[in-house]
Structures are given as C-alpha cells and as structure tokens.
C-alpha cells in the first residue's frame, strides 16, 4: 500500500495571477495607461479650454479658418483685466467665500452634534432618525426653494448674504451628518467607555476623544460642504437680486451674458478663477480626504 504524501503543500496549487496579468506591455497599455489617459483627459480638458479661452484675443475666438481653437497664437490678459477691474467679480468672489465658509461652519457644527447623538448615545429610534436625515438630503433643492423663498421674504433677509448662509445648511446638514455618522461608527466604543469610567462628560468625550480622532472625517465633510456651497446656483439666483450681493456662479451668468451676446473671454476667466479656490482646497487636504475614505481607528 502506497504511503500518502503528508506534506502541507502537497496537492495544492496557486492559480492566482496577482499582478502578472499586467506583465506584458500591451496589457499594461490597454488595462492601465489607456483608461488612465482617457480619465485624465476628460477631467483636465475643461480647465485647459477655460485657460486658453481666458487668454485668447476676441478676434481668435470665432475665426477658426485662421486660428486653431485648441491653442493661442497671441495671448492677452485683457479679459482677466476687464473681469477684475470693470465688473463686480471681486465682490462676487468675496460673497461666495463668505457664504461658503459661514454655511460650512454652521453645517459642520450641527452635523457633529447630530451624528454623535445618533451613533454614540444609542437612543431609541437612532437608526430611523439617521435614515430620515439621509432621505432629507435626497429631496431636490428645486422643490425646496419655493417654500424657503416664502420664509426668506417673511423673515426679511431677502437679497442679503444672510439668506444664503441660513438656507444652504438645509441641504448641507443632512449630507454632512450622514457622512460623519459613518465615520463615527468606525471609532472604537472602548475609547468612549474608558473615558466614561474616568468620569468624563459627554461633551468632554466629544471634544477631547471623538473629534481629535475624527479630523479626517471632519475635513472630508467640510470639503464636500464647501464645494456644494461654492457651486450652488438655484438658491443664489432666487434669493439675491442686487449685483453687489451675487455669488460667482450667478454673477458670471447674469452679468456677463447680455441677451444673445456672450463675453466668452470674461466668462471663461470668471469660471477659471472661480474654480481655483476649490482646487487649492482639495490639493491641501487630499491626504485627510483619502484617509477619511479608509476608516478611522483600527480595533
């Protein structure tokens, strides 16, 4: 009778390919580099188009017979100079920054308290409350702006930046709360229980234990809230009428488009300059944003 091979590796075979599927040059090009190139092109081409249109002279914007639309022959800064010194664009930029920062701060403050109460205190109906908050985020702003406009008129804050600062949290708080709920859920409960045993209050636990560990989640929620506030259009168009109180998305569209005349150079300059603060914000906090997507503290 033949002896059995009792070796632990006998009869086993590793059929996994791992990264071997990318060993050949052709596969790397088709699977990695080509999709990555298409993705980068789709993302960066609008910025390139805005940049060349912003510095392109007017006579080159529509004369495609003599000039290519994809590069500039004689760049000029006339459009940027016109935008900054002959329009109210600096005021629109300041209004946008003020509204975005204020509404983001208010939304994060309320969202931290709501997310902590739902995820850490474990009161009756906490999960249902969290679900209802998330469902509130799914309500389209186009449905809410009519009743909100009535409230804004009744309160007397129409055509003021305060109207935007107080109405933007209506769609920022549900989103930030839902995002922070998921992040708070990954923080071990043992840390909170140890603090309770040591005599810490709930407020002390929130400020000295939870929030320091949740910095990546707070930054991620803040970036999303700031971006949504910066690009918001419907509320800013409805609640603001005077030129000096407009934000960049509304001001560029309503002040630089006169009937059927489009000031393309100034429009693209305004769009390019208006997107730079968000790009800079993401570039500074990208590490925190990535870490927030991968969880908090390991058990």
Per the structure, the complete domain to which residue 248 belongs is given by: 91-293
CATH number at 149 reads 1.10.3720.10
- In this prediction, residue 110 has a pLDDT band, given cuts at 50, 70 and 90, of very high
Least confident of 143-157, 162-176, 255-269: 255-269
Strand, helix or coil for residue 262: strand
Question: Which is it for the CA torsion 143, 146, 151, 156, positive or negative?
Answer: positive
Asked whether residue 271 is assigned to any structural domain, the reply reads yes
Six-digit token string for 246? 């407009």
Strands (DSSP E) contained in the chain are 257-258, 261-262
CB 126 within 8 A of CB 220: no
Asked whether residue 95 is assigned to any structural domain, the reply reads yes
Judged by phi (left if over 0) then psi (alpha if -120 to 50, else beta), residue 242 lies in beta
Is-above-0.85 flag for pTM? Answer: no
Tallying the residues shown for the chain, one arrives at: 299
Give pLDDT tens digits for 242-287.
988 999 999 998 888 877 778 888 889 998 888 888 888 887 777 7
Asked whether residue 27 is assigned to any structural domain, the reply reads no
Give the burial string for 58-73 (b: 16+ CB within 10 Å, else e).
eebbeeeeebeeeebe
Asked whether residue 133 is assigned to any structural domain, the reply reads yes
Asked whether residue 205 is assigned to any structural domain, the reply reads yes
120 vs 138: CA distance, rounded Å: 24
Judged by phi (left if over 0) then psi (alpha if -120 to 50, else beta), residue 291 lies in alpha
- In this prediction, residue 119 has a pLDDT band, given cuts at 50, 70 and 90, of confident
Asked whether residue 123 is assigned to any structural domain, the reply reads yes
Residue bearing the bigger pLDDT, 4 or 88:
88
Asked whether residue 248 is assigned to any structural domain, the reply reads yes
Structurally, the chain folds into a number of domains equal to: 1
Asked whether residue 82 is assigned to any structural domain, the reply reads no
């Amino acid at each position: 009778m033949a002896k059995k091979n009792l070796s632990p590796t006998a009869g086993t075979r590793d059929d996994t390919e791992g990264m071997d599927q990318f060993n050949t040059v052709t596969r790397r090009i088709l699977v990695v580099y080509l999709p990555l190139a298409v993705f980068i092109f789709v993302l960066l081409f609008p910025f390139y188009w805005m940049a060349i249109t912003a510095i392109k002279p007017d006579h080159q914007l529509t004369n495609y017979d003599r000039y290519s639309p994809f590069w500039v022959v004689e760049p000029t800064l006339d459009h940027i100079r016109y935008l900054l010194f002959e329009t109210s664009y600096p005021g629109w930029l300041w209004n946008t920054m003020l509204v975005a920062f204020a509404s983001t701060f208010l939304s994060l403050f309320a969202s931290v308290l709501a997310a902590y109460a739902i995820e850490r205190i474990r009161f009756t109906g906490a999960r249902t409350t969290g679900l209802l908050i998330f469902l509130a985020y799914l309500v389209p702003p186009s449905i809410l702006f009519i009743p909100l406009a009535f409230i804004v008129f009744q309160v007397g804050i129409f055509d003021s930046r305060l109207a935007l600062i107080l109405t933007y949290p209506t769609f920022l708080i549900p989103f930030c709360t839902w995002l922070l709920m998921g992040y708070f859920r990954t923080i071990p409960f043992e840390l909170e229980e140890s603090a309770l045993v040591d005599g810490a209050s709930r407020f002390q636990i929130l400020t000295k234990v939870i929030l320091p560990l949740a910095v990546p989640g707070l930054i991620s929620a803040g970036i999303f809230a700031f971006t949504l506030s910066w690009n918001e259009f419907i509320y800013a168009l409805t609640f603001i009428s005077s030129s000096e109180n407009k934000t960049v998305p509304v001001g560029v569209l309503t002040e630089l488009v006169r009937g059927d005349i489009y000031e393309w150079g100034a429009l693209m300059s305004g769009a390019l300059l208006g997107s730079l603060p968000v790009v800079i914000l993401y570039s500074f906090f990208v590490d925190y944003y990535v870490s927030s997507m991968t969880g908090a503290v390991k058990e």
